[in-house]
Amino acid sequence: MSEEKRIYERDVITATISRLMIPFIQLFALYVIIHGASGPGGGFQGGVIFASSFVLYLVVFGLAAAGKRFPEGANTALMSTGVYLYAGVGLLCILISLGVAEYLNYGFIPLTHMFEENRALGMDLVEIGIGITVMAVITEIFFNLVWKKEEEEKEKEEPR
Amino acid sequence: MLSPVEQFPVLIIAISLLSAFTILVAGLVNKKSCCFISIATILLQFVMSIVILDHVLTVGTIHYWLGGWKPPWGIEYLVDALNAYVLVIVLFIALICAIYSKRSIEHELPHKLVSFYTVFQLLITGMCGVTVTGDIFNMYVFLEIMCIAGYALIASSKIGLKAGFTYLVMGSIGACFVLLGIGFLYSVTGSLNMHDLSLLLPPLYGNRVVQAAFVFFFTGLGIKMAFFPLHTWQPDAYAYAPSAVSVIIAAAMSKVSIYAFIRVLFSVYTVEFIQIYAPLTTVISWLAAIAIIFGSVYALAQYNLKRMFAYSSVAHVGYIMLAVGICTSTTLGLTPAVMHLLNHAVMKGCLFLIAGAFIYKKAELWDIMKFPGLGRKMPYTGIAFIFTALAMCDIPPSAGFVTILYLILAFLEAGQFIFAAVILFSVIVTFCYFFHVVEMMYLRVGVEEEIEKERGEIPMSMLIPVLVLAALSWIVGVIWLMKIPFPILDAVNSMFGLGVVP
Amino acid sequence: MIIPIDLALLALIVIIALVAITVKDLLSAIMLLSAYSFLMAIVWVEMHSVDVGFTEAAVGAGATTAFLIAALTRTARWEKG
Amino acid sequence: MIEWLVEELLAKYNYWVSIILILIGFYAMIAKDNLIKKIIGLNIFQTAIFLFYISLADIGPLPKGTAPIVSEEMIHMGYVYVNPLPHVLILTAIVVAVAVTAVALALVIRLYEEYGTIEESEIIELERQRGM
């Protein structure tokens, strides 16, 4: 808390503007993910844009505040959730269509009655999964590049 | 309607990817569980790969069209005899390595267990992906997944940092060349499917773009597999990586890169291309011959055990490429090359396991000069080392002997006696450098009291993989001599239209 | 595709690439790389590949630059020699 | 001569620029001593290859196409769109490129912590002194 306050006093403009910008960046990222199927964009781009809002937060408010907002465990869990969603849709299709059809096809997810609509929904699910993973991975990479962790220091002290 | 077995190629990759991220989550709860998840996944994949091999040999090639899109448009996973065979080798080595890595990595990288197993599983995903895919761009992507995981794993220990970075720079250049080659092929054919390319390319063999693309593939994949003039990253990377990583990159990753080259050479560019541009095989053969001599002689000069094995690997990549270079002029075709993929994986895997076992015992035991008395300190590992060294020296009926036998048969048939001389020279040099190590371990007497104090083997979970691979390096030779796996070789040769002298 | 704009952008890209690898200040080099990526994204959008241009603007000019600067905060800023 | 110049150089200027950029990146990767410069060179190299792919999609027979965002009306009105396949390939390749960059930067940071320098020649010298 005190850290945040201090930065506020020092950099009023950046802090205020980024507080205003971050929700809009995230909204744009969600737009890019959802509209990926019918226009430019998609899960990867949306995920990167979403992560860039976290990067902005870190740059403006400092490591301590950012580390409190995005704990590493939650980030790891998000990374895996995205991959589960991504691969889970595919595995579900294979399992459901095992006796019926030939190849991996998102149309077999039992979401609606229309085959084509199922396929579009399956693709959207996959895009969302990719988006979540990419967001978590890019944030994690950036945090790790900036942050010198205690674990590494512990390792450094030990003689090899 | 597909049989469930035909879903396996895609499942092998999906399971591996899921497992990598499951390890990440499980690592938050319990760090010790990572290893078991990894072993269980690889075991499942290994069983699936054996089922695939059986299916391919009995029923026929597996075509899997992702999303139901037909080949020239969609991505196709294609598993034939060569794929399935390489897949079995890769997953077997990965299984051995995962079992071995439990104690080894706990000892070497105690703070990085979770990330190690995650990246390890991603490496296996990449290797499986390269082997099963039938789409050339998909192959590039999986090759990059494999290599990025490889860079991270090599650099995970402190001494491996520089080697890892050098490999990263060279490997990225190689990957860029492969990407350029794919772009060149796409620009003239408009297709990315390997089988489709092999049908579209023959009228264009005179085209400069197609020839330039081949040069790009040769250079790029040559860097990835450490072929002779491009091997400079390899000795450091193999020597300074953590022991378990050395095993998997020396035994499995280089094989996957060689497989990728064989696939590009024979499935995209066909035998006709090689016959039209006959100097090509001459270039490959002579480079391979130089690689064999160079690797053997440099291995003789090393005092670092893992570096010695690394230079020996340069020589053995040369063996395989020499067999590839000679394949169009004999009736044996690709037989020696395909054989040596398995033989070298087993033998070099075992040697790197043993080198890792010595380092596990005492951190300074990478130096051959510190070996005196080691044979009595670690009796089982010592015996395993002697047996594998004898197999490397091509004593019949070991795995190494079978390769040499078929290589020399091929040379005699093709009339290339000079290559036979090169091989025999390499065998003699191999015997010299292994004898040097064995002499250091057994015949020089160490300080006696120290031996009594330090007697003790490595843990069972490390010893069993060593003994299994040491036994296999002889059993595989016997199996080859009994001609049990020859249906694979026949299928590979007939698939590529080899084994018939023009 | 409008050829004069294309030519001007590509010429600028080549110049920026040359400067980026010669300048001694690594922070400048990284910012020049960012500009390079962004101009490249413009060229691609102008060549009708909106999707790739969009990705390059987000990833090449955004994420990669952020990574490089993050790495620079923990290493040296000036190239020697 | 001038016709040849126009045909070979000007009509295919995208490819020439892409080749020049590839060479610039390749030079930086091989010859530069600084590790961050090598990574910058790698990025230039990869982006130049992407430019080559995008040019493949775009420079084709006339009439030139539009962006490959297709709707029913556009097809009815007879629009031609550029080949979208290279674009998709490059999307994947960009992902690979950013992953390579991230791994390379992580290695550079750890090398700096270990050796206190990011100049390759100094690292080699330090390694030699440590007797490796």
Q: For residue B367, which phi and psi values (nearest 5 degrees)?
A: -95, 125
Crossing angle between the packed helical segments C3-22 and C26-46, to the nearest 10 degrees:
160
Specify the pLDDT at position B140: 93
Provide the chain C residues 36-75 that lie in CB contact (below 8 A) with chain A.
50-51, 54-55, 58-59, 62-63, 66-67, 70-71, 73-74
Q: Do the Cβ atoms of A76 and B64 come within 8 Å?
A: no
Domain assignment present for C30: yes
CB B260, CB B377: distance < 8 Å: no
Residues of chain B positioned with their CB less than 8 A from the CB of A102: 1-2, 65, 68
Chains C/D: 3 or more C-beta pairs closer than 8 A?
Answer: yes
Is a pLDDT exceeding 80 seen at residue D59?
Answer: no
ipTM: 0.90
Based on the number of CB atoms within 10 Å of its own CB, is A116 exposed (0-12), middle (13-18) or buried (19 or more)?
exposed
Find the mean pLDDT for residues D29-52: 92
Show the tokens assigned to D80: 């031609």
pLDDT (tens digit, 9 = 90+) per residue, B374-431? Answer: 777 788 888 888 889 888 888 888 888 888 888 888 888 888 888 889 999 999 999 9
CA B252 – CA C38 distance, rounded (Å): 40
Structure tokens at B418: 């000079």
Size of interface C-D (CB pairs under 8 A): 140
Q: In this structure, what is the dihedral angle of CA atoms C24, C28, C32, C33, given to the nearest 10 degrees?
A: 80
Q: Which range, A135-139, A150-154, B71-75, is most confident?
A: A135-139
- Touching pair A, D by Cβ (3+ pairs < 8 Å): yes
A111 touches chain C (CB under 8 A): no
Q: Which helix (H) or strand (E) holds B64?
A: strand B62-65
What is the residue extent of each domain of chain B? 278-502
The total number of structural domains in chain C stands at: 1
**Residue B452: what pLDDT?**
55
Beta carbons of A138 and C63 less than 8 Å apart? yes
C77 assigned to some structural domain:
no
Q: What is the mean pLDDT of chain A?
A: 79
- Two tokens, residue A120: 């579009």
Q: Which amino acid is at B219?
A: T
Task: List the structure tokens of D38.
Answer: 């090598």
Rounded Cα distance, D82 and B377, in Å: 70
Chain B: list its partners (3+ Cβ pairs within 8 Å). Answer: A, D
Instruction: Say which of A91, A103, A160 has its CB closest to residue B66.
Output: A103
Phi-psi region of B373 (alpha: psi -120 to 50; beta: other; left: phi over 0): left
Burial profile B35-66: b = 16 or more Cβ within 10 angstroms, e = fewer: bebbbebbebbbebbeebbebbbeeeebbbbb
Q: How far apart are CA D24 and CA D9, in angstroms?
A: 19
Mutate to test the interface with B, among D29, D44, D85, D89 (most CBs of B within 10 A): D89
Domains contained in chain D, CATH given? 2-129 (1.10.287.3510)
Q: How far is residue B358's CA from residue B308's CA, in Å, rounded to a whole number?
A: 14
pLDDT at C16: 94
Q: Which of A44, A78, A80 to mutate to test the interface with B (most CBs of B within 10 A)?
A: A80
Question: Which residues from chain B sit within 8 angstroms of residue D111, using beta carbons?
Answer: 161-162, 165
The answer to whether the Cβ–Cβ distance between B66 and A151 falls below 8 Å is: no
Among all residues of chain A, which has the CA nearest to that of B159? A160
Picking from D72, D109, D112 by the largest number of A CB atoms within 10 A of its own CB, the best residue to mutate is D109
Amino acid identity of residue B69, one-letter, is W
Nearest neighbour of A146 by CB, restricted to C54, C62, C70:
C70
Percent residues over pLDDT 90 in chain A = 13
Facing A40 at nearest CB: one of C54, C67, C74:
C54
Q: CA-nearest residue of chain C to A146?
A: C70
Report the alpha-carbon distance of residue C1 to residue B262 in Å, rounded. Answer: 41
Could you tell me which residue, B458 or A78, shows the higher pLDDT? A78
Per-residue pLDDT at A67: 79
What is the pTM for the complete model shown?
0.92
The Cβ of residue B451 has, within 10 Å, a number of other Cβ atoms equal to 16
Chain A residue with minimum CA distance to B77: A103
Chains B and C touch each other (3 or more Cβ pairs < 8 A)? no
pLDDT of residue B502: 43
In this complex, which chains have at least 3 CB pairs below 8 Å with chain C? A, D
Q: Does C78 map to a domain?
A: no
Chain D hits for B179, Cβ within 8 Å = 46, 49, 93
Instruction: Evaluate whether D87 touches C51 at the Cβ level (below 8 Å).
Output: yes
> What pLDDT score was predicted for residue C1?
62
Q: Which residues of D touch B (CB under 8 A)?
A: 22, 26, 29, 35, 38, 42, 45-46, 49, 52-53, 56, 85-86, 89, 92-93, 96, 99-100, 103-104, 106-108, 110-111, 114, 123-124, 127, 132
Predicted pLDDT at A10: 62
Residue A160 is predicted with a pLDDT of 34
Helices (H) then strands (E): counts for chain A: 6, 0
| SS3 at position B77 | strand
pLDDT of residue B123: 93
> CA A9 → CA A2, A6, A14, distances in Å?
11, 5, 11
Is residue C41 situated within a structural domain?
A: yes
Distance between CA atoms of residues B109 and A120, nearest Å = 45
Q: What is the pLDDT of residues B241-251, one digit of tens each?
A: 888 899 999 98
User: Which chain C positions have a beta carbon within 8 Å of A138's beta carbon?
Assistant: 63
Cis, peptide link before residue C4, omega less than 30° from 0: no
**What's at A60, amino acid-wise?**
V
Which stretches of chain B score pLDDT less than 70? 1-2, 445-455, 499-502
Ranges of residues in chain C whose predicted pLDDT is under 50: none
Please tell me the distance from the alpha carbon of residue B328 to that of residue B432, in angstroms, as a whole number: 33
Handedness of CA D60, D61, D67, D68 (dihedral sign): negative
CB B76 within 8 A of CB B63: yes
Preceding amide of B397 cis, omega within 30: yes
Going by C-alpha positions, the residue among D46, A155, A101, D37 that lies closest to residue B179 is: D46
Mind listing the pLDDT tens digit for each residue in D8-22? 667 678 888 999 999
Q: Read off the pLDDT of residues A35-76 as tens digits, 9 standing for 90 and up.
A: 877 777 788 889 999 999 988 888 888 777 787 888 888 888
